[in-house]
Amino acid sequence: MPKKKRHGGRILGLDILPGERQNPRFAAVIIDRNGNKIFQREISRSEIFDIIKEYNVSIIAIDNIFEIYPSVQEIKNFIKNTHIRLIQVTGPLGKEIKLSQLAYAYGLSKSGKLSPYEAAEIAARLALMDVGAEIKLFEDVTEIIVSRARSLGEGGQHQAKYARVIASVIQHAVREIEDILRTNNIQYDLFTREGDYGVKRARFIVYAPFEIVKQMIGRYHGDLFRVEIRPIEKEKISFLPTEKPPLVKRLLICGIDPGETTGVAILDLSGNILHISSRKNMGITNLLELIYEYGKPIIIASDVPKLPQFIEKICKRIGAICFSPSHVYSISDKNEMIRQLNVRVSNTHERDALVAAILAYKKYKNLFQKIDSIISYIPLNLDADEIKKKVVYGASVKEAISKAIENALKTLIEAPSVPKEKIHPATHQMRMLLRERDKLRKKISLAQKEIERLKRRIIDLENMIREKEKEIERLEELLDLREKFWRKQIREELDKLKNSYMRDLEKQLTYYKNVTSSLRKKLSNMSIQIKDLLRIIKKRENEIPIKALDEFTKDEIETLDSTLGITRGDIIYIRRPHGGGHTTAFELVKRGIRAIVIEDGELSMLAKKVFDENGIDILYPEDFDPPLYLTETERIRIITDEELRKALKNKRLRELPEDEALYEEVMDILNEWRQKRKKEEKGEIDDKKTNRNTY
């Protein structure tokens, strides 16, 4: 059953072309979500950015991501700058499948050798079918920082008061963020830094993707405090879907102290310390990659009774047992534990992680020693770590050892039988050497036969070469004769072409003069268009562009959209609205315009109905103050939100009966007077407060 497609937009397939690796060029093919090919040509690396924007590309598919950029950091920067999904269709590193094999398997090609353009198109189509591995830069973990916005300055009474206010505001913001996360059932860890007057800084580790969290909690930067939100980036790029398996079978106990700086300590099941370290901003994936370098963790431990969500999430992800002590250990107790171990730690994070691991080991120490003692008396090859693992996961010592013995006996029974008689080691070694000698003699015999066959083959090939050399000599003579004949023919043809070519040049000269004149006219039009586009680009946030249509036709709309663009929120000025109907009106509606302005004449009933049903306001130049008329050569006009608001108000008054319109105008004047009066009263109250405080 095919996978459900989870992507939209267009897919750009790339394949590097032979040539300079410093400035590579690519065969590029773009397909849409229906599999239709809409673009194919050779591009440079720098053109990729323009192609992404121009063709609304959301996915880049390639057989090797390092063809785009040779280093991991450059690939990271490329993905961050383009916000593109980068897919290596041949699979994750170390598990790649040849593109030609994938093409054959999915029925995209039957030939073994693919041209660059074929490879680019096949890569795009494989990505459309969800084949391959996507490059992932970020973990599904988000960091939120709440901190003060500026320094407190020099000391004094005012500084203390200001510090208390900031601490109170930060505490309130932290509580609001906690409420939002709890309401949305999102797990998180909170780490706070206390100051003299309360919370000085807070850091949330939220176990949800950045895109989800930023929709609920936005960035903020005020006078007193700021809220920053960012995804936690992986140290290495990873390929999805992938899971890194343990590199060794050794089972581990891990102590973790999460926070801005995460401490980690790793022990084996005998209590030996394998690793202690700490690092800032260490995500779950990076932490597991570090742990899996030493083995597979079966116990993840904390040094505090209330288990952090960071540790709970790790345990659920890898199926490990969570451990937390029954009470809080004092700093002196922790330091004494470290002193007895005679181990050096660099900071408190490493100390707390090691204490957590040691406490977890002590809980199971007697059981582990009992298992080691029992299996030492059993004359079978039993895996002590596997037995300890079963006991940690809930089995009794008796059940775990019995199961291990059963498996060991089963392995012995199924193994090949061993001769009963005792063979002396030297005799056994001699027999092995004789067998090896016989094997070598057979190989030498086969090799000699192959040598004889190859010698005969060489003689045959030498005879063939001599025959081919004679054939080459004959063909060279024939080639010389034909060359002389064609030289004569070419001279005659050149003389004929010379006169014809001169006539063609004169025609081309006339043609290019006409083309030059036409291009100059286009250049003039483009200059006007560029000026209009610059006016659109430079407009302020509170300004709205009005774009003009000479005629209310579909062709005019398409021309305006291709030159100045018709974007959501635009106002369209129609000089002559007659002729446009339902379809023409819908062309503007689907582009998301805000309103239209009719200069001369009236809309058809069908067009007006479409605009009314879609909430598009129909205005007239007289609705604006002063009246808004565009000249015949004017293609764009910029107005403010306030001017549009007044025009919409005038339009509404125009459509009301005269008495209702008069009433609305009177009420607006009264409301405006009331607001002005409130501001004056508020100013008087503020002046009185200021005078009282001064006194």
Top-confidence residue, 101 or 11:
11
Predicted confidence at residue 136, as pLDDT, reads 75
**Spatial CB neighbours of 693, under 8 Å, sequence gap ≥ 6:** none
pLDDT digits (tens, 9 = 90+) for 563-615: 888 888 889 999 888 878 888 888 888 888 989 999 887 888 888 888 888 98
In this model, does residue 420 exceed pLDDT 60?
Answer: no
Q: Are residues 645 and 549 in the same domain?
A: yes
**pLDDT at residue 352 is higher than 90:** yes
Q: Considering 374, 407, 434, which residue would you say is the last residue of a domain?
A: 374
The answer to whether residues 253 and 162 belong to one domain is no
pLDDT at 239 over 70: no
Amino acid type, 85? R
* Residue predicted with more confidence, 158 or 107: 107
Shared domain for 557 and 591, answered yes or no, is: yes
158-172, 217-231, 421-435, 620-634: lowest mean pLDDT where? 421-435
Beta bridge partners, 263, equal: 257, 278
Structural contact between residues 206 and 226, judged by C-beta atoms closer than 8 angstroms: no
Angle in degrees, CA 457, 462, 468, rounded to 5:
125
In this structure, is the dihedral angle defined by the CA atoms of residues 318, 319, 320 and 323, taken in order, positive or negative?
A: positive
CATH code, 303? 3.30.420
pLDDT for res 244:
35
pLDDT tens track for 677-693: 777 777 766 666 666 65
What 3-state DSSP class applies to 354?
Answer: helix
Same domain, 127 and 226: no
Give pLDDT, residue 560: 86
Is 493 inside a domain boundary? no
pLDDT confidence of residue 642: 84
pLDDT at 158 over 70: no
Final residue before a domain boundary, out of 174, 201, 235: 235
Instruction: Tell me: do 23 and 116 sit in the same domain.
Output: yes
Choose among 68, 15, 70: nearest CA to 46: 68
Residues in contact with 278: Cβ distance below 8 Å, sequence separation at least 6, in sequence order: 257, 261, 262, 263, 264, 346, 347, 349, 350, 353
Q: Which residues contact 294 (CB under 8 A, 6 or more apart)?
A: 248, 250, 252, 266, 274, 275
Same domain, 201 and 300: no
The total of other beta-carbon atoms located within 10 Å of residue 309's CB is: 17
pLDDT one-digit tens code per residue, 369-393: 888 888 877 777 788 888 888 888 8
Query: Residue 435 class from Cβ within 10 Å (0-12 exposed, 13-18 middle, 19+ buried)?
Result: exposed
Residue 5 in this model has a pLDDT that exceeds 50: no
Verify that 149 and 118 share a domain, yes or no.
Answer: no
* Residue-wise pLDDT tens digits, 27-37: 999 999 888 99
Which of 131, 148, 163 marks a domain boundary?
A: 131
- Is 475 among the domain residues? no
Instruction: Assess whether pLDDT exceeds 80 at residue 468.
Output: yes
537-562 mean pLDDT: 86
Instruction: Find the domain containing 92 and state its range.
Output: 10-131
Contact 553, 580 (CB under 8 A): yes
Q: Is 160 in the same domain as 283? A: no
Would 384 be classed as within a structural domain?
no
**Phi, psi angles (nearest 5°) of residue 191:** -125, 125
176-202: average pLDDT: 83
User: What's residue 71's pLDDT?
Assistant: 83
Least confident of 99-113, 278-292, 518-532, 662-676: 662-676
My answer on whether 281 and 321 are in the same domain is yes
Other beta carbons within 10 angstroms of residue 211's beta carbon come to 11
- Phi–psi pair at 362, nearest 5 degrees: -60, -35
| Total domain count, the chain | 5
Q: Is residue 206 in a domain?
A: yes
Q: Are residues 252 and 229 in the same domain?
A: no
Q: Give the separation between CA 268 and CA 254, rounded to whole angstroms.
A: 9
**pLDDT at position 433, please?**
56
pLDDT reading at 236 higher than 70: no
- State both tokens at 610: 């479409």
Assess whether 553 and 650 both reside in one domain. yes
Look at residue 205 and give its three-state secondary structure.
strand
Instruction: Give residues with Cβ within 8 angstroms of 214, minimum separation 6.
Output: 142, 229
Q: Are residues 248 and 306 in the same domain?
A: yes
Q: Is residue 53 part of a domain?
A: yes
Question: What tens digit of pLDDT does each residue of 488-502 get?
Answer: 888 888 888 888 888
Task: Tell me whether residue 689 is in a domain.
Answer: no
φ, ψ for residue 14 (rounded to 5)? -125, 150
